[in-house]
A and B are shown apart, each in its own frame.
Chain A
Amino acid sequence: GNSVTQMEGPVTLSEEAFLTINCTYTATGYPSLFWYVQYPGEGLQLLLKATKADDKGSNKGFEATYRKETTSFHLEKGSVQVSDSAVYFCALSDRSFNKFYFGSGTKLNVKP
């Protein structure tokens, strides 16, 4: 079956620190992979995505590379800001059934 596992939070960092949030997946077929971000009191927003192996998604300084050999899609940012504080969700899309599978979310707290 399909599933997504991401590191438990909360992750607390100081401003300008390097961020990594781990995400691994299991899937049948060739899914697309996504990172969504949820700011306090808001809905989920697409942060970045990758649709095939070795693709790199990037947006707002965040990056993630679709690694088929390690079934991973880790989120990274070189220098976090206080405004990056949010919950981050890794997800995969099962194209066969048009179904999304979300990880449990990782809360990021960035302190000034």
Chain B
Amino acid sequence: DTAVSQTPKYLVTQMGNDKSIKCEQNLGHDTMYWYKQDSKKFLKIMFSYNNKELIINETVPNRFSPKSPDKAHLNLHINSLELGDSAVYFCASSQVGTGSIKETQYFGPGTRLLVL
């Protein structure tokens, strides 16, 4: 059973298109995240949702819009794709607890986006 799954695994598209990436977790966690990993492997957090509520919104172009229909899902929609959006996008989830050891984040396998 996959704990955090993402679809699609690969996404090749033209500049200017709109695309979505889906993420689902079956761990019962209440918090989900989107990260962007560039070609140098640097990981940058983009968004975080706790119980469907946006709690982290880093400096990300507003062409990127996350949507969380329920606790187990966090989707990422990208409008007007640009060449610089090419990267690997990772979804992650965790169970937020005060002073708890449950804060470990569990990552999905990634979506490799290539914008041509």
| A interface residue numbers (CB < 8 A to B) | 32, 34, 36, 38, 42-46, 49, 51, 87, 89, 93, 95, 97-100, 102, 104-105, 107
Contact = CB atoms under 8 A, between A and B. Distances in A.
Nearest to A102: B43
B13 interface: no
A99 B90 contact: no
B75 interface: no
Where chain A touches its partner, the secondary structure class is strand
Contacts, number: 55
Interface stretch (B61-69, B78-86, B97-105): B97-105
B25 interface: no
A64 B99 CA distance: 20
Contacts of B40: 104
Nearest to B40: A104
A32 B43 contact: no
B107 interface: yes
Contacts of B101: 32, 49, 51
A49 B104 contact: yes
B48 A107 contact: no
A100 B108 contact: no
Interface in B17-43: 31, 33, 40-43
